[in-house]
Amino acid sequence: MAQLEYKCPNCGAPLGFEAGTQEMTCEHCATVMDVEALQCMDDEVAAHQEPDAAQWEYEGTNWEASEAEGMSVYTCNSCGGEIVGDETMGAATCPFCGNPVVLTAKFSGALRPDMVIPFKLDRAKALESLENHYAKKKLLPTVFKDRNHLQEVKGVYVPFWLFSADADGRFEYRATRIRRWSDARFHYTETSFFRVIRGGKLGFDAVPVDGSKSIDNTMMESLEPFNMNEKEDFKPAYLAGFCANKYDVEAGDCAPRANERIKNTTTNEFNKTVMGYHSVTPVNASVRVNCEGVRYALLPVWMLGSTWEGKNFTFSMNGQTGKFVGDLPLDKSARNRWFLKLFGIIAASLLVLTQVVITFL
Amino acid sequence: MKKAMKIIIILTLTAILITLALPFTAFANDWTRPRERFIDEVGVLTDAQATELSAMLDEISIRQNFDAVVVVTNTMDTNNPRRYAADFYEQHGFGFGQDLDGILLMIALQPERNFAVVTTGYGQYAFTSAGLIFLEDLFLPYLRNDRFFEAFTAYANAVDDFITRARAGDRYDTRNIPLTPAQRTEARIWAAVISVGLAAIIAGAVVGGWTRQLKSVKSRDFACDYVRKGSFALNLQRDIFLYRNIRRIPRQQNNSGGGRGGGFSSSSGRSFSGRSGRF
């Protein structure tokens, strides 16, 4: 017959039942546990959920022949990016890498976007934001600010997969509460240990993940958030004057990133509900993502390309909110100069101050 | 005739008694009497230095009504150097007034280079525990380097300063002990090192902040902006108490106290304060 054994939550040694006190006692570390609490903890562990196995599937709709007519596909021979534009766009440079693109074919295939967020901000605003982006950056090379380096400013509809889901989460934490007091002879510290369990649901609408290989995913995440309340049903007319990138990463391939962000957010929200403890250590987290749907959307982004000292620098602006991002080069000599200057001033000030203070001690 | 002889004998005895009694009353109060306040049984100072130090100790003692004494011996009782020094102080008749106000520094080069500072009378008020440690810090560095003259003059000057401060109602105690020259030098070096380190950290933080301004492309690991409003449902909320530990630490007894230094009694029972150690 199998013998039931409980382990001490403090040290892992076997717990024994003390008949006198009617409590579970650890002979190794002298921890005393209430039988009810132990049973309760055991039940909760037994109720542990299976991890998620979200399946994201997207069927989508195809372009109608009339919509595809008049649209062309341009391919960048350098980065391989495919850009969709109307036939009047002509030869242009790739908004992602700055190299020339060539007309390769009449538009065909690929799924039709479900929705679009139209451009709200124009080219002038993008250039103004670029100027602001340069401002108040002490370590930006002065010569970089020269406008002549700017090569391309393009409004691009970037393909995004929008994931909607319900997240079911269950979390366990080890928590402590500390009480201190003193009497005439001793200082006392009482540490109470708790097992904290939280569970519930959190819903997400339209978590965007960039569906284009040509565009840096991190840069697109930096442009967030997009206000999805302003989305419109897709109409080819929105593409007039702009170019669009075709998605080349399937929804299923983008799903892991969406899952990761959903899980992180769910975990974070439930962590906030554990309050009133001096320390909280997560011991187990399980989030099951229940997919509610995937939608294909084109979101507005201004892409600005620039070169400096043979390197390409790409900036982008959220065409809806105006959020502007893009890494800038570092002037190393200016950095060193500023460091020495600040170091000298601060060190001299502190030296004088401390020596004067010591004189009067 | 017999009556006249009796009167003569009584007057003679009275005169003898008065003559015998006079030195004892003068002994306790006559602070101008010639007395060696620097006793050197070893010869650690040159004659000129000894003369200069003696004059210095005399001048301070008479001006302050407070004996400042320095004794250099070959050996001393290492088991109880403070009592040895206190007994020496009493047996050699040092001290002003009824309370024998004064202080004595005794050093012995054998067997373990010991020293003792003892004080009684007004000295017990003027030299607090913290004050005695401060006094020690002023002359010990010189003694350790066998710079005896500098050590003794530093001691004499310090005694003068201590008594002056005490009479002005501002005796040296834990709240107002100044740094010794050695401590001041050490503090200056540490302050310089910390200032340079702190300056490097602050300058690095500022320049680091400016460098980070150039980087704006960052991944977003959360999707807080896309949480459906009102969708958060906390269905399970359990806080299970497991066990508790109680740790107890004995309270430290506060033995430090201002006021008089470490008190003890001489062999005669007179109360003294003082410190002793090796150098």
User: What residues in B contact A28, CB-CB < 8 Å?
Assistant: none
Asked if B144 reaches chain A (Cβ–Cβ under 8 Å), the answer is no
pLDDT class of B181 with cuts at 50, 70, 90: confident
Query: Residue B260 pLDDT more than 60?
Result: no
pLDDT class of B272 with cuts at 50, 70, 90: very high
* Cβ-based contacts under 8 A for chains A and B: 229
Kindly report which listed range (A101-110, A185-194, B67-76) carries the lowest average pLDDT score.
A101-110
CA distance A345 to chain B (A): 8
pLDDT of residue B20: 43
Nearest neighbour of A139 by CB, restricted to B210, B217, B232: B210
Please list, residue by residue across A326-358, b when 16 or more beta carbons sit within 10 angstroms of its beta carbon and e when fewer do. bebbbbeebbeebbeebbeebbeebbeebeeeb
User: Average pLDDT, stretch A175-183?
Assistant: 95
CB contact under 8 A, B241 and A34: yes
Kindly report which listed range (A240-249, A261-270, B221-230) carries the lowest average pLDDT score.
A240-249
Query: Residue B33 pLDDT more than 50?
Result: no
Side-chain-side CA neighbours of residue A165 (13 Å): 31
CA distance A189 to chain B (A): 5
pLDDT of residue B256: 38
CA distance B183 to chain A (A): 10
Kindly report which listed range (A259-263, A350-354, B16-20) carries the lowest average pLDDT score.
B16-20
d(CA A50, CA A286): 8
A residues 236-265 lying closer than 8 A (beta carbon) to B: 258, 260-262, 264-265
CB contact under 8 A, A37 and B239: no
Task: Specify if B13 maps to a domain.
Answer: no
Asked if A148 reaches chain B (Cβ–Cβ under 8 Å), the answer is no
pLDDT of residue B58: 95
Kindly report which listed range (A3-12, A157-166, A184-193) carries the lowest average pLDDT score.
A3-12
pLDDT of residue B253: 59
User: Average pLDDT, stretch B160-172?
Assistant: 94
Structure tokens at A306: 């620039």
pTM: 0.65
User: Average pLDDT, stretch A72-82?
Assistant: 69
pLDDT class of B150 with cuts at 50, 70, 90: very high
CB contact under 8 A, B251 and A351: no
pLDDT of residue A101: 65
CA distance B68 to chain A (A): 27
CATH code at B50?
3.10.310.50
pLDDT of residue A148: 55
Task: Specify if B84 maps to a domain.
Answer: yes
Task: Specify if B74 maps to a domain.
Answer: yes
User: What domain range includes position B131?
Assistant: 25-181+261-278
B residues 185-204 lying closer than 8 A (beta carbon) to A: 187-188, 191-192, 194-196, 198-200, 202-204
Query: Residue A45 pLDDT more than 80?
Result: no
CB contact under 8 A, A328 and B235: no
CB contact under 8 A, A194 and B231: no
Cross-strand pairs, A289: A167
Q: What percent of chain A has pLDDT over 90?
A: 49
CB contact under 8 A, B199 and A350: yes
Residue of B263 and A60 predicted with greater confidence: B263
Task: Specify if B160 maps to a domain.
Answer: yes
CB contact under 8 A, B233 and A202: yes
B residues 152-191 lying closer than 8 A (beta carbon) to A: 178-179, 184, 187-188, 191
User: What residues in A contact B134, CB-CB < 8 Å?
Assistant: none
Nearest CA in chain A to B185: A358
Q: What percent of chain B has pLDDT over 90?
A: 70
pLDDT of residue A306: 83
Nearest neighbour of B219 by CB, restricted to A10, A190, A218: A218
CA distance A287 to chain B (A): 14
Task: Specify if B230 maps to a domain.
Answer: no
User: Average pLDDT, stretch A275-287?
Assistant: 95
The candidate with the shortest Cα–Cα distance to A327, out of A148, A159, A121, A139, is A139
Cross-strand pairs, A233: A115
- What does B207-247 look like in DSSP terms, one character per residue? HHHHHHHT---------GGGBPTT--EEEEEEEEEEEEEEE
Kindly report which listed range (A261-265, A299-303, A308-312) carries the lowest average pLDDT score.
A308-312
B residues 207-226 lying closer than 8 A (beta carbon) to A: 207, 210-211, 213-226
Order of strands across the sheet with B67-73?
A: B38-40, B67-73, B102-108, B114-120, B271-278, B263-265
d(CA B30, CA B67): 12
pLDDT of residue A190: 94
Task: Specify if B36 maps to a domain.
Answer: yes
What residues does each domain of chain A span? Answer: 1-47, 61-166+200-272+286-330, 335-361
pLDDT of residue B32: 45
- What does B79-124 look like in DSSP terms, one character per residue? SSHHHHHHHHHHHTT--BTTTTBEEEEEEE-SSS-EEEEEEETTHH
CA distance B265 to chain A (A): 32
pLDDT of residue B24: 41
Residue of A262 and A247 predicted with greater confidence: A262
User: What residues in A contact B224, CB-CB < 8 Å?
Assistant: 265, 268
User: Average pLDDT, stretch A20-48?
Assistant: 69
Nearest neighbour of A197 by CB, restricted to B219, B227, B236: B236
Asked if A293 reaches chain B (Cβ–Cβ under 8 Å), the answer is no
Run of H or E residues at A152: strand A150-182
User: What residues in B contact A142, CB-CB < 8 Å?
Assistant: none
User: What residues in B contact A139, CB-CB < 8 Å?
Assistant: 207, 210-211, 213-214
8 Å CB contact between B125 and B99: no
Query: Residue B124 pLDDT more than 80?
Result: yes
Q: What percent of chain B has pLDDT over 70?
A: 84
State the total domains in chain B. 1
pLDDT of residue B174: 87
A residues 64-123 lying closer than 8 A (beta carbon) to B: none
pLDDT of residue A103: 56
pLDDT of residue B12: 53
